[in-house]
A and B are shown apart, each in its own frame.
Chain A
Amino acid sequence: MLVRAEKRLVRPDDRIEEYESVGKSPPRTDARDKVNGSALYMEDMKFNGMLYGKVFRSKYAHARILSIDVSRAAKLPGVRGIVTGRDLPFVHGESLIDEPFLARDKVRYKGEAVAVVGAVDEEAAEEALELISVEYEELPPLFDLMEAARPGAVLIHEGLENYPHAPWVRPIKGTNICNHFQVQRGNIEVGFAESDHIFEDTFTTQMQQHCSLEPHGAICLINSDSAITLWANNDSPYRCRTEIANALKIPLTDVRVITVPNIGGNFGGKGGLKAEAAAIALAWKVRNRPIKIMYTREEEFCSSLARHPSVIQMKTGVEKDGTILAREVRIYLDTGAYAEKGSTVSRQCALSAAGPYRAPNVKVDAYCVYTNRPVTGAMRGYGGPQAAWACESQMDIIADKLGIDPLEFRLRHIYDEGEVDITGNPFDSAGLKECLKEVASRMEWGSKPLGKDRGRGIACMLRSVKTPSGSAAFVKVNEDGTVDVLSSTTEVGQGSSTVLRQIAAEELGVPLESVRKAAPDTAFTPFDTSTTSSRSTFYMGNAVKMAAADAKEQILRMAAQLWRARPEHLKIKYGKVCIEGEPDKTVPVAKVLSQHCGPCGTVLGRGFYMPQIPEAVESYYTVFWLLGAGGAEVEVNRKTGQVKVLKIWAAHDAGKAVHPVNCEAQIQGGVSMGLGFALSEEIVLKEGDVMNPSFLSYKLPSALDVPEIVPIVVEHPQADGPYGAKGFGEVTNVPVPPAIANAIYNAVGVRIKNLPITPDKILEALKRKNRQRKDGPPVPHRPPVSSRGRYAR
């Protein structure tokens, strides 16, 4: 259900330009097919002679592989081939190359791929798995994040320092830390020394899974010349291509990646090589036959990807009046057995950790740590939810102790417009302030209390966007005036096809219905870094806009030649070329093309966008910040500890909402994901073993569990964005958990620092609070602050 915002914010400067396609909410490109069931997904892809692959997985968390015997499995009727790590000496990775296609000498987590069986049907492949036997020598496993981070811990990757990696990744030799990222400004020692109060808290977050309805899947065909064709529901075909070509040491042109027209949910989980790696491994051995691998739901939970669990230690020093002087954050992220996107996640988490708040002295250290647990990586808002959980919870702890209103405390510290932020660059904060004020005013912040055991809470968020990165697009105008947008942005359900069509239609001046977005294929659609990080509307939007402008210019030049007019006096509107000042003289684009080139009329517009890194800037981490704020109203049952979330307000800055209804839908989806992270979702692990690998036992919120959501789309134009637009959809889950935790504290006075906030934790905290009350003198809810003191908890 879509709850519409009561009113959209309109800024005076927006009214000047009236757009035809941008800012409207036409039916989504994929809506009809998805509703009637005809949309094509990975599961629908089938080829003649295709084999089905199934993956044999490790039952130990950390063990040396002594031998693998596949002889019995190979003899099973229907089995056409079996591949193990020994057949395939290749290693892949995103920014740190550490993961073999199939385990070679060692397994590093329960559920790691050890062998792949290909058979004529899934039944035979599954049966064959039972006939594979592996001899292991067990090694001491590491399941605890902090234990694994300690110097002297057993090494999960012995040769870590020799792994190839991107220049900005810093593994620490002789440890399990695969990336240490540090960012600092000022001098925290001085800042803390000058502080009147110092707050120290440790916050933790759990392992969350993406729960995309469509599991990972891939079909791989490798011919005798080692040319690879891969059909996959991968979110980033070009990154996928590079990762494969680099790993297999073959030219990029030998790898063709085709993304299925619809990906059934991504949330960051469909990025690396998952089913792709297994399919490639088997196809490498069994040539000239397409090999299909679809993960089961259990494989999704145990062997694909999850969100990094974290331990975040936050220390903040403030003056008597609450002014923040210093902030020190130590972040530990459990990346599981392989780095995956852990290096990027730890960087993004560190950049968000101190919040959007002014602190003259800041130091953030993020450690990305290997453990013998399932691999974690990119997941919606990556780094952001962990950082906001810690930072926004502590903001309320500080405000409460000092008797300052949490809203006022935040507004006082949010960077001023143009103030230098943690990265050393000027911060564009107007959108964030507007988000926070909108949330506060709509939830009637500061009005009378809500009643017994009810409370309100707010939280802010910021997160960087993948920078630098590039996107290219072609806009192809066809003989009949219709338009194809060739771009490698994948449709993962986020609505990019619709948004990119809108931008192309707007720039070209043609009706939206005449524009189509092609499905990505590295053989035809041009380069794009990735469909991640909320970058598509901004980066690819700019590229498509440039390509459309290029096509338009070509068409106008043709028309100018025909009419002996100057191109600058011509424009295209509603698919027709017209001359300024002569409203009656219009010619359809198709006719201009055919008059110019006869039946061969076509125009190809090109666009490539990659922002220039400003000169004399030593560290440039983000071209824009994703910004937002959230508010929650809750009711806590003191007898059961159960939390009922009554309503959630969520405001995020879109720059310019290209498709406002889609923006609101992104908020709806993000909030429900944040709600699950806040209250119920957790991959339960025992000795590295996933105990709840199903939708029955993993508590994804149902439609009945999601409260009323008020989506608020703030539009503070992004100067270099297409039509002022920037990233939006990904981070709408981020403010929800701290807003709920802050509301719970407001309702019943207990502070939960470990996610998820389950009723047993609340009940335990309430009991502890009552005990304290009985034992000692009554503690006032908001103590007045008088003298210089230290609060250390």
Chain B
Amino acid sequence: MKLPRFKYVEPRSIRKACEFLQAPQDEVQIIAGGTDLIMALKNRQKIPKLLVDISGIPGLKEIKYSDKDGLRVGVLATLRHLTAHPVVREKYPVLVQAALSVGTPQIRAMSTIGGNLCQDTCCMYFNRSAMVRQTLEPCHKLGGQVCHVVNASEECWATYAGDVAPALLVLRARVKIAGLRGEKVVPLHELFSCDGKRPHTLRPGQLVTEIQVPAPSPSSGGAYLKLRQRETLDYPLLGVAVNLTMEGEDGICKDASLALTAVDKAPVVVEEANRLKGKKLTHELMQDLTKAAIKRAHPIKDLCDLTATYRRNMVNVYVESATQQALQSVAKQFR
């Protein structure tokens, strides 16, 4: 299908952008890389009256690092630039792995880190064009009253399937949000609403401008593993991010974090990873952690590929492998 009609503006400042974004949320959409939005527009998943193109706002593409402030990534930095950045590659393997697993090289060259974090939730009933969807009643996400996945559900269960969010969550990232009344910096998880219909907490007039990641401890390492059917292009059917900080090579865990994606309406932080702190990583502890992860994973049959049961069964395997790979990544620091 062709694009719907809309108005288009290109603000040159954050403030101007926020002014445009004050309209009710259904009526205005931000566009940067456009890799998700253009498809959503053509499919009429979104029919905004106004597109606010923020790609011309100066200063939002930068990637900076200092030991004091850690990593600061402007919201418009593309995934290609992020994954090519030498410091990011050296210090944040989990972030690089996650970002490299997104789409294809062409998509990563266009898509921004902000766009990836703020990507919409997906569902096989929703992610089709209006013409194909007409066979079914409009669902919650399209302003209707039904859910085609969970019978008689009063809410939307669409899945959040961003790859970058879980990696940033295990790195304890924060996001800077600009608004007309000034800026605020909040932990990344606060950006997600866990509402399939409207997965983000941004209010009218607000815009994410920067992602801040603390400097890593010297003996830390991480890994991101993604379940999908092909080696490229696909959204995750399950994504597991792990970050570990260890003391000595076979030593005590100083810090551990685990996050999942594509198993719920928002990326899931498995808080139970905190229990590993100060302990030696035994088989039993790891088993407890995978059990906790499985408990928090709620994949449902809203994606075409593979069964929900299978995706749930894989949490176990993927958490275990990701932890092993994170440990190997830590071990590299000691060499």
Inter-chain contacts of B230 with A (CB < 8 A): 680, 699, 701-702, 704-705
A689 B136 Cβ-Cβ under 8 A: yes
> Would you call A702 and B129 a contact (CB within 8 A)?
no
Contacting A at CB under 8 A, from B1-43, are: 1-2
Contacts of A122 in B (CB 8 A): 2
Query: What residues of chain B lie closer than 8 Å to A690, measured between beta carbons?
Result: 132
Contact B307 A760 (CB under 8 A): yes
A705 to B104 CA separation, bound complex (whole angstroms) = 13
B118-134 vs A: 1/0 string, CB under 8 Å? 00000011011101101
Which one of A123, A701, A759 lies within 8 Å of B306 (CB-CB)?
A: A759
The answer to whether A298 touches B131 (Cβ under 8 A) is yes
Q: Give the complex CA separation of A704 and B241 in angstroms.
A: 23
Interface residue? A684 (CB, 8 A):
yes
The CA of A646 and the CA of B142, in the complex, are separated in Å by 44
Please measure, in the bound complex, the distance between the C-alpha atom of A690 and the C-alpha atom of B128, giving whole angstroms: 9
**Is A216's beta carbon under 8 Å from chain B?**
no
Known: A640-B314, A697-B124. A704 touches B131 (CB 8 A): no
B132 touches A699 (CB 8 A): no
Which residue of B2, B231, B304, B309 contacts A692 across the interface (Cβ within 8 Å)?
B304
Instruction: Kindly state the separation between the CA atoms of A684 and B127 in the bound complex, as whole angstroms.
Output: 14
Q: Tell me the nearest residue of chain B to A679, going by C-beta.
A: B229
Chain B residues with CB under 8 A of A123: 2
- Grouping DSSP codes into helix (H, G, I), strand (E, B) and loop, the B interface class, with mixed when no group exceeds half, is loop
Asked whether, in the complex, the Cβ of A639 is within 8 Å of the Cβ of B1, the reply is no
Within residues 21 to 63 of chain A, which ones have a CB less than 8 A from any CB in chain B? 57, 59-60
B310 within 8 A of A: yes
A756 to chain B: closest residue by CB? B229
Residue of B nearest to A684 (CB): B304
Given A126-B2, A298-B132, A689-B136: A697 in contact with B306 (beta carbons within 8 A): no
Is the Cβ of A760 less than 8 Å from the Cβ of B310? yes
Query: Please, how many angstroms separate the alpha-carbon atoms of A437 and B322 in the complex?
Result: 44
Q: Are A699 and B124 in contact (CB under 8 A)?
A: no
Given A126-B1, A691-B124, A702-B230 in contact, is the A302-B306 Cβ separation under 8 Å? no
> For window 47-68 of chain B, which residues contact chain A by CB distance below 8 Å?
none
In the complex, B282 has a CB within 8 A of chain A: no
Task: Write out, one digit per residue, whether chain B residues 230-245 have a CB within 8 A of any chain A CB (1) or not (0).
Answer: 1111110000000000
How many contacts between A and B, using CB within 8 angstroms? 77
Question: For the complex, is A262 an interface residue (Cβ under 8 Å from B)?
Answer: no
A451 to B305, CA, bound (A): 30
Contacts of A454 on B, CB cut-off 8 Å? none
Report B104 CB to chain A, min CB distance, Å: 8
A589 in the interface (beta carbon within 8 A): no
Interface status of B152 (Cβ within 8 A of chain A): no
Mask, A754-766, CB within 8 Å of B = 1, is 0000111001000
Of all chain B residues, the one with the shortest Cβ separation from A700 is B230
Whether A59 contacts B314 by the Cβ 8 Å rule is no
Say whether B306 contacts A758, CB under 8 Å. yes
Contact partners of A641 in chain B: CB under 8 A:
310
Interface set, chain B 130-178, CB cutoff 8 A to A: 131-132, 134-136
Q: How far is the CA of A684 from the CA of B226 in the complex (A)?
A: 23
Across the interface, B317 reaches (CB within 8 A) one of A110, A296, A640, namely A640
Nearest-neighbor residue (CB-CB) of A688 within chain B: B135
Question: Nearest chain-A residue to B129 (Cβ)?
Answer: A298
Question: A696 and B234 in contact (CB under 8 A), knowing A60-B135, A691-B124?
Answer: yes
Which A295-316 residues sit within 8 Å CB-CB of chain B? 296, 298, 302
Within the complex, what minimum Cβ distance (angstroms) separates A278 from chain B?
14
- Give a binary string over A685-712; 1 marks a CB under 8 Å from any B CB, 0 the rest: 0000111111111010110110000000
Known: A640-B317, A759-B310, A760-B306. A57 touches B232 (CB 8 A): no
Check A704–B304 contact: CB distance below 8 A: no
Chain A residues bordering chain B, tally (CB within 8 A): 35
- In the bound complex, do residue A298 and residue B128 qualify as a contact, i.e. CB atoms below 8 Å apart? yes
B307 and A697 contact, CB distance less than 8 A = no
User: Do B234 and A296 have beta carbons less than 8 Å apart?
Assistant: no
How far, in angstroms, from A763 to B309 measured CA to CA in the complex? 11
Asked if B328 is an interface residue, CB under 8 A from chain A, the answer is no
Residues of A within 8 A of B125 (CB): 691
A296 and B1 contacting across the interface, CB-CB below 8 Å: yes
Contact of A680 among B131, B227, B229 (CB under 8 A): B229
Cβ–Cβ contact A639 & B317, under 8 A: yes
Question: Please, which residues of chain B bring their CB within 8 A of the CB of A684?
Answer: 124, 304
Q: B324 on the interface (CB 8 Å rule)?
A: no
Q: From A55, which residue of chain B is reached at the shortest CB distance?
A: B131
A111 CA to B235 CA, complexed, in Å: 27
Which residue on chain A has the smallest CB distance to residue B303? Answer: A697
Bound CA span A59–B309, Å: 31
Binary flags per residue of A58-93, CB closer than 8 Å to B gives 1, else 0:
011000000000000000000000000000000000
A-side contacts of B306, CB under 8 Å: 758-760
Cα A94 to Cα B99 with chains together (Å): 50
Chain A, 134-154, contact with B by CB distance < 8 Å: what is the 0/1 string?
000000000000000000000
- Using Cβ atoms and an 8 Å threshold, which residues of chain A touch B128? 298, 691, 693-694
A129 in contact with B131 (CB, 8 Å): yes
Q: Which residues of B contact A696 (CB under 8 A)?
A: 127, 233-235
- Whether A302 and B313, one on each chain, are in contact in the complex, defined by CB atoms closer than 8 angstroms, is no
Q: What is the CA–CA distance of A680 and B317 in the complex, to the nearest angstrom?
A: 21
| Contact partners of A639 in chain B: CB under 8 A | 317
Question: B134 contacts which chain A residues (CB < 8 A)?
Answer: 59
Given the contacts A122-B2, A639-B317, A699 and B232 also touching, CB distance less than 8 Å: no
Q: Which of B127, B233, B309, B314 contacts A702 (CB 8 A)?
A: B233
Q: Which residue of A lies closest to B148 (CB)?
A: A686
Report the Cα distance A236→B216, complex, angstroms.
64
Q: Measured between C-beta atoms, what is the minimum distance from B335 to chain A in Å?
A: 28
Q: Beta-carbon contacts of B296-312 to A below 8 Å, as 1s and 0s?
A: 00000000111101100
Asked whether A702 lies within 8 Å of B317 as measured between CB atoms, the reply is: no
Given contacts A298-B132, A699-B230, contact A691 B304 (CB under 8 A): yes
- Greatest chain B CB density within 10 A among A110, A126, A699, A704 is at A699
- In the complex, A691→B230 CA distance in Å? 18
Measured between beta carbons, the chain A residues less than 8 angstroms from B229 are 680, 699, 758
* Shortest CB distance A307–B (Å): 18
> Assuming A704-B231, A705-B230, is B131 touching A57 (CB within 8 A)?
yes
Is A302 touching B132 in the complex (CB atoms < 8 A)? Answer: yes
Question: From B321, which residue of chain A is reached at the shortest CB distance?
Answer: A639
Given A126-B2, A298-B131, A697-B127: A702 and B304 interface contact (C-beta under 8 Å): no
Question: In the complex the two chains form, is A697's CB within 8 Å of B304's CB?
Answer: yes
Q: How far is the CA of A688 from the CA of B21 in the complex (A)?
A: 41
Contact of B232 among A110, A697, A704 (CB under 8 A): A704
CB distance from A45 to the nearest CB of B (A): 19
Q: Mark A658-700, 1 if CB is under 8 A from B, else 0.
A: 0000000000000000000000100010000111111111010
Contact B2 A760, beta carbon cutoff 8 Å = no
- Given A126-B1, A692-B304, A702-B230, A763 contacting B313 (CB threshold 8 A): yes
Contacts of B2 in A (CB 8 A): 122-123, 126
In the bound complex, residues from chain B placing their C-beta under 8 Å from that of A705 are: 230-232
Which residues of A have CB within 8 Å of B314? 640
- B119 CB → nearest A CB, Å: 13
Tell me, in angstroms, the Cα distance from A697 to B161 when the chains sit together. 14
- Please encode chain A, from 466 to 509, with 1 for each CB lying within 8 Å of some chain B CB and 0 for all others: 00000000000000000000000000000000000000000000
Are the CB atoms of A702 and B136 closer together than 8 Å? no
CA distance A692 to B134 in the complex (A): 15
A298 to B1, alpha carbons, bound, how many Å? Answer: 9
Q: Please, which residue of chain B has its CB at the minimum distance from the CB of A691?
A: B124
Q: Could you say which residues of chain B place their CB within 8 Å of the CB of A694?
A: 127-128
Q: Which 4 A-B pairs have the closest CB atoms?
A: A704-B231, A760-B310, A692-B304, A59-B135
6 pairs across A/B with beta carbons < 8 Å? Answer: A129-B131, A691-B124, A691-B304, A692-B124, A701-B230, A702-B233
Residues on B facing A (Cβ under 8 Å): 1-2, 124-125, 127-129, 131-132, 134-136, 227, 229-235, 304-307, 309-310, 313-314, 317
A696-B233, A697-B305 given; name 4 further pairs at CB < 8 Å: A59-B134, A59-B135, A696-B234, A701-B230
